[in-house]
A and B are shown apart, each in its own frame.
Chain A
């Protein structure tokens, strides 16, 4: 068993053990390594000032993606190669991405700039074409208060030209020789690791441990042994709690090296998604098969968050405003729970018991999620209402799935989020819609029933009234967006 984390930073190898494993990547960069180009503003993954490139060992090579280093703790980054903004400048030569930002006047105060540079560098790594739209998507996770973004977009737009001019624009990851790194990771990733340390403060002693299993079996055994273990995959929520609410998990299991949980399977219109699949990978998969879900994924999270967070984490976190849940509820998804006695499947509609309480036993681990793809005669629509359109926690979410035949609703499934302690199905409203014709007045009435069926709270994001109004209006909106067309299409046909 290994007792240290292995992380490369800008080509340099670091073995980290003991208390140092319990820090965020941004703290490690800034404090331990003195790489202060990486800035921390919000410490909650919302502003992107701390963006770095992280290369993970997948499919026998290092795949580099942008991540928010403030909510990536080192135990999530075993066997990764981190490139910080300092890594882009080599031999006194700045990278074309940096030059583009200089020339286009893309920086004003400069505090967000290293983050923008790294997010642009990440876009080069994924080799997508740089259009205005793709640049906006790639930089959604980076806030700037000075520039109004226009000159940053212009900087990014000059990049393809730059690459032509210099014939080979060096990819940031290519600055470093990755072959030796890959060999090192191959050796290390298959070995589980356990880091422990004892801390002493004001007369109190605490023992803390981190476990990074390399096999599912080891993970389940560890969960069996330590019931209070905090399981971390993307860590996009737990790390925020550590940073902000000062929770101090004393026993952490990181799933980062469980390669077997990183899969998406499709068989006979049945989809199965492993617990380690990130939003990025799921979003790519959904583009063709489930455009509605793909759209929601691109709205609710920035690149940096999508590259870290997982579907399984979204479920395990059990938040009533988790953005995937309305979809999973109306599609009747099933969750695979693995424990020492084997596996069991549970329908998501029965999984959540109360606020942040689920059917999962302390010894169990979510290993995958599966569902049937909707029928061609099904209408599926997902809604997310938030203060800001992109990268904002939802005020209200909705999943609506209807099966319509001959102008009549045969089957209706509705799930609302943000209106109660858990995501709610709306049985009264569903019952009302079923067997009714698809007309505006039906949906207006349904809206009023739905609004009465829930009792949301007022909080920082919205008032009760607004949420109730949305609950009503969203069904009318749905009618106008989906059913009007549906009718038209049928009539045209």
Chain B
């Protein structure tokens, strides 16, 4: 049966010693930078921490299990509220000729129908380039693109009115694949190139080379709560919006610009999301504008809640990629050069595509040192909904690139793939420069690979698998171990900032507000722990408040895994400010209380709901009393904290720099079982091992690791976006789009973390954990490739991602019937291909030709 090792609670004496040393240093150190402020301040009580490092249930767990936790569409409707829906494009590309919006507006129970002409301000928005219309003007560019907003008294009224819809569109030729886009020269942004060493030379001189094409398909975020927003009109044209968004600040701006009002007239709040995964980083904006526009036009509260079908049809997804690759390697398996030509399918507007592509370039090395390389990347513009952020943000596709190549090298050299992976893995000294110039430091990648290989009994099992494949007539097995290294920080440097507001009330309880949004990842829980520890008070005396642009301004999206890093430090910085005020109050108090004790704020210690002077530990003042005292003394007990990630920079002209504060790393090993007759796959066992630093909340982090892995499992196996030849998404609901369910998790599932003694930075020496575990899923996909490679010895199987049963069976059939190898079939983007050429053969052929 299952064995899932729970992560033991961390009580490392070594680390608390280090902290103790810092605690004895002088406070004057803290003036250098905000970063130093947190790391070098006297940590009076951190080594006696009560809460950080403990498994504490999710901040909203009680609300979740009782159903009392409200999401946007759960908020009790106000009297007179309007329901907002939209009319969308039925075609992928076309020119709008007419729409009977006036007639529709006259239907029973309809309050208004609005098109782009009704938007008083800007109709275009976008996080990087403002090229995306909120409502289509003249042209439609994808199926599902909103053309008009319809507001009604009830869903029924809207449904009835839509029966009278007359929409006339002249269809134009759409572009769907990257090949079509390349042919039509439709690109978004500039081509990017990362270079290191001399690839061409390595290619020419290498003993062995291979090349091929690889397809890596998209994925729907499938957050359970679809996009939703609720807008209230307020006096003087102001708007208040509840939105299910990862990005309240951007949404505030987009709404203000669309309505032609100031940012200060819009308040955007987000209590929680029913999942985001990146899908609500930019794309919550259109529904929010819809609701805001109706509220502004009608003076009535307006609510929009997409149906799952509409949401899946009209919002962007993980980017599909097509990659042409070339690799040069020694007969030992050492990679000497890699070239990737990466084409991303960006959809109809820029959205975040260029940033996503950038992260792909940053991660196409994954965990491997590549001395000579060229990574080219470009985003193609097509007639699909603008593709957007999704957990991993281009990282998964980048890692899939190189893992695919490495597996093929192993197949070609008839060597064990782990041996090749281990050989090329980044070292700690030498062989540690990334394609973008950052040095991979303070890591334990080789140790992770070795430990996991040992605990998962990789060597023994790979023999068993090979033996099984020789014998079984009905099934195939595959086994693979893949590493993962993910850079933490927004690669757009200015986004790496955060602010927080901390208010202490007269009873000693605390409210904290940050720009971070809660989508299930446990951000609020972790910040509660951090703040409670700052004052050494109980977890229950701290409350995380609704995220609001009224309290926290100009905040980055809750994304890039870094939200605890950014908002956590900002909150702690706010606490430190209050604490230094309180220290003065306390020291004066103790001076009066204890004869001969000179007031010294430096000597004040917070511990166990009270404070004391270190020189007189017996005399204690409860935190509650201290707060009352401070109030009477007229001391501020509300402060804002700010934080920006230090030491990071990246130059997009040279494509070199240090974009990441640190890396989160790990590895996984998976074993799959494939039915030779149906191609159906089952995941028999997975072992995950991650370095996530010192966990702030092991229970939450464990949930992130498992949840991320399973989400990735969906991407590499069963989640298939199928479109009609007209560009309509056919798999637009869970009946046809199959995310993993409870039966799909591995039969044996071991999840562990590893201690990294070199990691000494970041808030409480933790590491970001949101996105990285998703990419552990690649071991499953590679295991499929491994299984297929045993069908015809020496033949390298082609395999697209995802490896659906249909994909696997067609590859199996292909291998068995020895179908025309290396021939690109019709509909090029449906195919991956691989050509293995040894240099000698090639030379030989050339000679013959001569």
Contact = CB atoms under 8 A, between A and B. Distances in A.
Interface of A: 30, 34-39, 41-44, 46-47, 49, 84-86, 88-89, 94, 97-99, 101-103, 105-114, 117, 132, 135-136, 139-140, 142-154, 200-202, 240, 244, 246, 385, 387-393, 395, 459-463, 465-466, 469-470, 473-474, 476-477, 480-481
Given A47-B224, A47-B734, A385 B520 contact: no
Interface string B141-176: 000000000000000110111001000000000000
Closest 10 CB pairs of A and B: A37-B67, A109-B520, A111-B274, A110-B64, A148-B710, A108-B520, A477-B677, A460-B730, A148-B706, A473-B677
Contacts of B735: 42, 44, 46, 240, 393
A387 B738 contact: yes
B703 A147 contact: yes
B29 interface: no
A179 B186 CA distance: 70
A474 B678 contact: yes
B707 A477 contact: no
Interface string B733-770: 11110111111110001010000000000000000000
Contacts of B606: none
B309 A41 contact: no
Main secondary structure of the interface of B (DSSP, over half): loop
Interface string B104-142: 000110000000000000000000000000000000000
A113 B68 CA distance: 11
Contacts of A390: 741, 743-744
18 contacts: A35-B67, A41-B224, A41-B308, A42-B735, A43-B308, A47-B224, A86-B66, A94-B62, A102-B57, A110-B63, A132-B1, A145-B223, A145-B277, A147-B710, A149-B741, A150-B4, A393-B735, A473-B676
B551 interface: no
Nearest to A45: B735
Contacts of A37: 66-68
Contact of B224 (A103, A109, A117, A240): A109
Contacts of B18: none
B478 interface: no
Interface residues of B, number: 90
A110 B272 contact: yes
A145 B678 contact: no
Given A111-B224, A147-B706, 12 more contacts: A41-B308, A85-B66, A94-B62, A105-B700, A110-B58, A110-B61, A140-B741, A143-B734, A145-B707, A153-B742, A389-B743, A460-B730
Contact of A110 (B69, B677, B710, B730): B69
B224 A49 contact: yes
Contacts, number: 248
A202 B107 contact: yes
A121 B643 CA distance: 45
A216 B739 CA distance: 42
B739 A145 contact: yes
Interface stretch (B32-40, B70-78, B630-638): B70-78
B733 A42 contact: yes
A242 to B, nearest CB: 11
Contacts of B676: 473
A125 to B, nearest CB: 18
Interface of chain A, helix or strand or loop or mixed?
loop
Contacts of B749: 150
Contacts of B520: 107-110, 146
Interface of B: 1-2, 4, 55, 57-58, 60-71, 73-74, 76, 107-108, 156-157, 159-161, 164, 222-226, 272-277, 307-309, 473-474, 519-522, 675-678, 680, 682, 699-700, 702-703, 706-711, 718, 720, 722, 730-731, 733-736, 738-745, 749, 751, 804-806, 809-810, 813
B65 A94 contact: yes
A101 B160 CA distance: 42
Nearest to A461: B736
A246 B159 contact: yes
A388 B741 contact: yes
Central interface residue in A39, A49, A88, by most chain B CB within 10 Å: A39
B678 A473 contact: yes
Contacts of B225: 39, 41, 109, 111
Contact of B66 (A94, A140, A146): A94
B274 A39 contact: yes
Contacts of A140: 741-743
A303 to B, nearest CB: 11
A107 B62 CA distance: 9
A151 B736 CA distance: 26
Nearest to B525: A105
Contacts of A107: 58, 60-61, 64-65, 520
Contacts of A108: 58, 275, 520-522, 703, 707
B275 A145 contact: yes
A244 B309 contact: yes
Given A393-B735, A460-B722, A385 B680 contact: yes
Nearest to A84: B67
Given A143-B734, A460-B731, A477-B675, A101 B65 contact: yes
Contact of B805 (A35, A105, A387): A387
A313 to B, nearest CB: 17
Nearest to B222: A145
B707 A201 contact: no
Contacts of A393: 735-736
A66 B703 CA distance: 26
A136 B809 CA distance: 27
Given A105-B700, A108-B58, A111-B275, A465 B706 contact: no
Nearest to B160: A201
B680 A389 contact: yes
B459 to A, nearest CB: 27
A360 B283 CA distance: 49
